[in-house]
Amino acid sequence: MKINENYQKLPGSYLFSTISKKVKAFQKEHPEKEIIRLGIGDVTLPIVPAVIKALHQAVDEMGNASTFHGYAPDLGYPFLRETIAREDYEKRGCDVKADEIFISDGAKSDCGNIQELFGPEARIAVCDPVYPVYVDSNVMAGRAGEYDPSSGIWSKVIYLPCTRENRFVPGLPKETPDMIYLCNPSNPTGTAMTGKQLKVWVDYANEHDAVILYDAAYEAYISDREVPHSIYEVEGAKTCAIEFRSFSKNAGFTGMRLGFTVVPKELSFGGASLHDMWARRHGTKYNGAPYIQQKAGMAVYSQEGRRELAEQVAYYMRNARTIAQGLEEAGYEVAGGVNSPYVWLHTGKLTSWEFFDRLLENAQVVGTPGSGFGPSGEHYFRLTGFGTYENTVKAIERIKTYG
Amino acid sequence: MKINENYQKLPGSYLFSTISKKVKAFQKEHPEKEIIRLGIGDVTLPIVPAVIKALHQAVDEMGNASTFHGYAPDLGYPFLRETIAREDYEKRGCDVKADEIFISDGAKSDCGNIQELFGPEARIAVCDPVYPVYVDSNVMAGRAGEYDPSSGIWSKVIYLPCTRENRFVPGLPKETPDMIYLCNPSNPTGTAMTGKQLKVWVDYANEHDAVILYDAAYEAYISDREVPHSIYEVEGAKTCAIEFRSFSKNAGFTGMRLGFTVVPKELSFGGASLHDMWARRHGTKYNGAPYIQQKAGMAVYSQEGRRELAEQVAYYMRNARTIAQGLEEAGYEVAGGVNSPYVWLHTGKLTSWEFFDRLLENAQVVGTPGSGFGPSGEHYFRLTGFGTYENTVKAIERIKTYG
The DSSP line for B215-242 is E-TTGGG---TTS-SSGGGSTTGGGTEE
What confidence score (pLDDT) does residue B349 get? 97
Please give the average per-residue pLDDT across B202-226, as a whole number: 98
* Distance, CA of B122 to chain centre: 23
**Would you place residue B51 in the very low, low, confident or very high pLDDT band (cuts 50, 70, 90)?**
very high
Q: Which residues pair with B262 in a beta bridge?
A: B101, B243
d(CA A236, CA B318): 58
With an 8 Å Cβ cutoff, are B112 and A5 in contact?
Answer: no
Q: How far apart are the CA of A154 and the nearest CA of chain B, in angstroms?
A: 17
What confidence score (pLDDT) does residue B41 get? 86
With an 8 Å Cβ cutoff, are B292 and A288 in contact?
Answer: no
What confidence score (pLDDT) does residue A58 get? 98
State the fold for domain A6-46+304-402.
Aspartate Aminotransferase, domain 1 (3.90.1150)
- Same fold: A6-46+304-402 with A52-302: no
With an 8 Å Cβ cutoff, are A4 and B46 in contact?
Answer: no
Residues of B in contact with A207 (CB under 8 A): none
Instruction: Mutate one of A249, A284, A386 to test the B interface: name it (highest B CB count within 10 A).
Output: A284
What confidence score (pLDDT) does residue B17 get? 85
CATH architecture of the domain B52-302 equals: 3-Layer(aba) Sandwich (3.40)
**Would you place residue B1 in the very low, low, confident or very high pLDDT band (cuts 50, 70, 90)?**
confident
Is B128's pLDDT higher than 90?
Answer: yes
With an 8 Å Cβ cutoff, are B256 and A209 in contact?
Answer: no
What confidence score (pLDDT) does residue A12 get? 85
With an 8 Å Cβ cutoff, are A292 and B116 in contact?
Answer: no
Is B403's pLDDT higher than 80?
Answer: no
* Residues 6+ positions from A227 with CB-CB distance below 8 Å: A184, A185, A192, A193, A194, A195, A339
What confidence score (pLDDT) does residue B131 get? 94
Q: How far apart are the CA of B333 and the nearest CA of chain A, in angstroms?
A: 31
What confidence score (pLDDT) does residue A40 get? 80
What confidence score (pLDDT) does residue A350 get? 97
What confidence score (pLDDT) does residue B362 get? 96
Please give the average per-residue pLDDT across B225-232, as a whole number: 98
Reference A381, options A304, A299, A324; nearest CA is: A324
The answer to whether A176 touches B2, Cβ cutoff 8 Å, is no
**Would you place residue B197 in the very low, low, confident or very high pLDDT band (cuts 50, 70, 90)?**
very high
Please give the average per-residue pLDDT across B125-153, as a whole number: 96
With an 8 Å Cβ cutoff, are A256 and B7 in contact?
Answer: no
Is B112's pLDDT higher than 90?
Answer: yes
Q: How far apart are the CA of B114 and the nearest CA of chain A, in angstroms?
A: 10
d(CA B291, CA B78): 11
What confidence score (pLDDT) does residue B111 get? 98
Size of interface A-B (CB pairs under 8 A): 224
With an 8 Å Cβ cutoff, are A133 and B55 in contact?
Answer: no
d(CA B211, CA B202): 9
Query: In chain A, what are the domain boundaries?
Result: 6-46+304-402, 52-302
Residues of A in contact with B286 (CB under 8 A): 108-109, 112
Residues of B in contact with A68 (CB under 8 A): 44-47, 252, 255
Sheet with strand A259-262: strands edge to edge: A101-104, A259-262, A241-246, A211-215, A179-183, A124-128, A158-161
With an 8 Å Cβ cutoff, are A117 and B270 in contact?
Answer: no
**Would you place residue B40 in the very low, low, confident or very high pLDDT band (cuts 50, 70, 90)?**
confident
At residue B146's C-alpha, the angle toward residues B141 and B149, to 5°, is: 125
With an 8 Å Cβ cutoff, are A283 and B13 in contact?
Answer: yes
Determine how β-strand B124-128 pairs with β-strand B158-161. parallel
With an 8 Å Cβ cutoff, are A286 and B137 in contact?
Answer: no
Residue stretches of chain A with pLDDT short of 70: none
End-to-end CA separation in angstroms for chain A: 54
With an 8 Å Cβ cutoff, are A70 and B44 in contact?
Answer: yes
Neighbours of B116 (CB within 10 A): 19
**Would you place residue B290 in the very low, low, confident or very high pLDDT band (cuts 50, 70, 90)?**
very high
Please give the average per-residue pLDDT across B382-392, as a whole number: 96
Residues of A in contact with B55 (CB under 8 A): 59, 62, 292
**Would you place residue B157 in the very low, low, confident or very high pLDDT band (cuts 50, 70, 90)?**
very high
Burial of B330 (0-12, 13-18, 19+ CB in 10 A): middle
Q: How far apart are the CA of B402 and the nearest CA of chain A, in angstroms?
A: 31
* Minimum CA–CA partner of B60 in chain A: A52
Q: How confident is the prediction for chain B on average, in pLDDT?
A: 97
Q: How far apart are the CA of B185 and the nearest CA of chain A, in angstroms?
A: 21
* Minimum CA–CA partner of B67 in chain A: A46
Residues of A in contact with B5 (CB under 8 A): 119, 272
